């Protein structure tokens, strides 16, 4: 075991270094001894006015099955301070990393001051982690003048580099939202600029291994180290296009639920989530709210776990179904499940926030992906849920509703109305994807031209969205990576939009 002196020298070298991707990469490089257990980085999440979750997972050999850990429990110390040099300690403690949790650590810090930055680090097995930056949320109802966040989704490792993460880590953010497809479960085909082991994960060991492979990426680590994250999943954290207990390729629900339990457990272990989110068998509570003073309230949706079964399979072509398939319109079917819909309606009714942001997985607007055909995988397979949501925004006179989404590997900006062609009720901003491949712009531009509620679409650029919310306006910038197949490719603004408070609908800026 390295001496305490080595540990202290390492810690001093790393202090205050983890605030840019370049600094994170060099700090991480300095600790990359063969027995360094912090090779998956550090993360924080679930910011509250008095604290947040601090996360790490011990993995000295991220690319090996078992990540180089034995079954022995390991003591992990943590500290959080008011300064980047960790001199003004605000709290510290010890956690135990156990094999049953994949040697992950989730520390729920409390007792901190609202609306301020903090810095944190872990030590274990004679090593110190690089330092991460995080922050607390503003006090409940406090007057807040600005919130800066980035959102992303769909980071297929084999499809591209995480240049978008390196860019957002430099954006001086209060918050990062990840809207799903953090990993892809698919077997590696040999295509794309980066490889991981071929086998598709089917059990807990397999999913842990896939997360470790993804999380060893230094740009992803830098993005986690720059700000607290709020995460929701989509389908690929378990398997493509699953819903509830249905897997398209494995029709046995009991067997599928075992796989879902393994996937949810691995998701929990690898994300900075609270104990409230810890899975029980195949069930995990992921929909939840976040308040940012009086400025913004967020609802994070889970559109996979609680939905009713897929519809119109008898007349489907893959996931495409005719728009007039009668089952599709059945009002008893829900994408969210009754419990989550009730929770959402209560949350919207109870919100006093100026901006009300729905963070979810898809494009909410109903668009035809082929003439007369819609996908039965997202909101368009459950139009009554979408209608009830728009109704809830109107009935509760929800202040400035806004939707952020992912899943479809394209950038879209659009408006949502109660009826086609009606007055906009909310605006939505979807995508793009961090690295997953999208669709040709010839298709996307045709789609935008055929759907007047869509104001912008691009399927060829990879990237992320940056959002600045003030009491007067919400500004959204689509950020595009010039070429995600090439590491370190430049990142520029693809499009800019503004939504003025009190005026539903978006303008280009
Ligand atoms: Fe995706």
pLDDT (tens digit, 9 = 90+) per residue, 162-188? 999 999 999 999 999 999 999 999 998
Domain spans, the chain: 1-137+183-231+234-285, 146-180+287-370+379-509
Range from 362-371, 393-402, 495-504 carrying the lowest mean pLDDT? 362-371
Query: Tokens 């109305």, residue?
Result: 417
pLDDT-above-70 percentage for the chain: 96
The Å distance, Cα 491 to ligand 1 centre, comes to 21
What pLDDT, in 10s, does the model give residues 271-288?
999 999 999 999 999 999
Q: What is the mean pLDDT of residues 133-148?
A: 98
The first and second tokens of residue 449, run together, are 């031209």
The Å distance, Cα 271 to ligand 1 centre, comes to 18
H/E stretch holding 497: strand 491-500
The Å distance, Cα 238 to ligand 1 centre, comes to 12
Confidence category of residue 19, pLDDT binned at 50, 70, 90: low
**pLDDT over threshold 90, residue 430:** yes
The domain 146-180+287-370+379-509 is placed in CATH, from the list 3.40.50.2300, 3.30.465.10, 3.60.21.70, 3.80.30.20, at: 3.60.21.70
| DSSP conformation class of 356 | E
| DSSP conformation class of 139 | P
What pLDDT, in 10s, does the model give residues 397-408?
999 999 999 999
What pLDDT, in 10s, does the model give residues 187-210?
988 889 999 988 999 999 999 999
Hey, which residues does 289 pair with through a beta bridge? 299
What CATH class is the domain 1-137+183-231+234-285? mainly beta
In degrees and rounded to multiples of 5, residue 501 shows phi and psi of: -60, 135
**pLDDT over threshold 70, residue 391:** yes
Task: State residue 18's pLDDT score.
Answer: 47
SS3 category, 479: strand
Q: What is the mean pLDDT of residues 83-89?
A: 96
Residue 143 CB burial class (10 angstroms; 0-12, 13-18, ≥19): exposed
The Å distance, Cα 361 to ligand 1 centre, comes to 9
The Å distance, Cα 235 to ligand 1 centre, comes to 8
The Å distance, Cα 436 to ligand 1 centre, comes to 6
Task: State residue 10's pLDDT score.
Answer: 55
The Å distance, Cα 138 to ligand 1 centre, comes to 32
**pLDDT over threshold 90, residue 3:** no
Task: State residue 432's pLDDT score.
Answer: 86
The Å distance, Cα 181 to ligand 1 centre, comes to 5
pTM to 2 decimal places: 0.96
Q: What is the mean pLDDT of residues 367-381?
A: 90
The Å distance, Cα 85 to ligand 1 centre, comes to 38
Task: State residue 180's pLDDT score.
Answer: 98
**pLDDT over threshold 50, residue 488:** yes
The Å distance, Cα 433 to ligand 1 centre, comes to 7
Euclidean distance between CA atoms 236 and 213, whole angstroms: 15
Euclidean distance between CA atoms 113 and 366, whole angstroms: 43
């Amino acid at each position: 075991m390295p001496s305490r002196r080595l540990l202290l020298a390492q810690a001093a070298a790393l202090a205050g270094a983890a605030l840019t991707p370049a600094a994170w990469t060099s700090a991480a490089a300095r600790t990359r001894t063969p027995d360094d257990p912090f090779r998956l980085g550090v993360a924080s999440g679930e910011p509250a006015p008095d604290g947040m979750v601090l996360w790490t997972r011990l993995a000295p050999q991220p690319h090996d099955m078992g990540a180089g850990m034995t079954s022995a429990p390991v003591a992990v110390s943590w500290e959080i301070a008011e300064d980047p040099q960790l001199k003004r300690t605000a709290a510290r403690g010890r956690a135990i990393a156990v094999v049953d949790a994949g040697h992950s650590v989730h520390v729920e810090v409390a007792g901190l001051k609202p609306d301020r930055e903090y810095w944190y680090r872990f030590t274990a097995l004679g090593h110190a982690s690089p330092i991460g930056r995080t922050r607390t949320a503003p006090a409940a109802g406090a007057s807040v003048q600005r919130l800066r966040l980035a959102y992303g989704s769909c980071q297929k490792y084999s499809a591209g580099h995480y240049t978008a993460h390196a860019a957002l880590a430099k954006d001086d953010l209060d918050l990062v939202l990840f809207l799903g497809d953090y990993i892809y479960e698919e077997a590696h085909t040999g295509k794309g600029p980066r490889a991981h082991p071929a086998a598709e994960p089917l059990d807990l060991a397999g999913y842990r291994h896939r997360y470790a492979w993804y999380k060893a990426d230094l740009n992803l680590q830098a993005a986690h180290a720059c700000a607290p994250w709020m995460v929701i999943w989509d389908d690929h954290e378990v398997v493509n296009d699953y819903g509830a207990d249905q897997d398209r390729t494995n029709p046995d629900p009991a067997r599928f639920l075992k796989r879902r339990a393994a996937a949810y457990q691995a998701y929990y272990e690898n994300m900075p989530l609270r104990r409230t989110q810890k899975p029980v068998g195949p069930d995990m509570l992921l929909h939840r709210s976040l308040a940012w003073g009086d400025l913004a309230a967020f609802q994070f949706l889970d559109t996979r776990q609680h939905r009713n079964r897929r519809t119109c399979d008898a007349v489907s072509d893959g996931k495409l179904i005719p728009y007039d398939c009668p089952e599709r319109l059945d009002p008893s079917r829900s994408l969210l499940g009754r419990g989550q819909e009730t929770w959402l309606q209560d949350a919207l009714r109870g919100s006093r926030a100026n901006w009300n942001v729905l963070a979810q997985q898809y494009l909410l607007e109903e668009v035809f992906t082929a003439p007369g055909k819609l996908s039965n995988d997202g909101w368009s397979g459950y139009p009554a849920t979408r209608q009830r949501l728009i109704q809830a925004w109107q009935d509760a006179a929800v202040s400035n509703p806004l939707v952020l989404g992912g899943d479809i590997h394209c950038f879209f900006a659009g408006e949502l109305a109660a009826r086609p062609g009606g007055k906009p009720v909310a605006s939505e901003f979807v995508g793009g994807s961090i690295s997953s491949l999208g669709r040709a712009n010839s298709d996307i531009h045709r789609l935008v031209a055929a759907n007047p509620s869509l104001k912008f679409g691009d399927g060829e650029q990879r990237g992320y969205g940056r959002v600045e919310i003030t009491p007067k306006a919400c500004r959204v910038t689509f950020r595009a990576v010039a070429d995600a197949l090439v590491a370190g490719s430049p990142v520029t603004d693809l499009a800019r939009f503004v939504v003025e408070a009190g005026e539903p609908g978006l303008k280009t800026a």
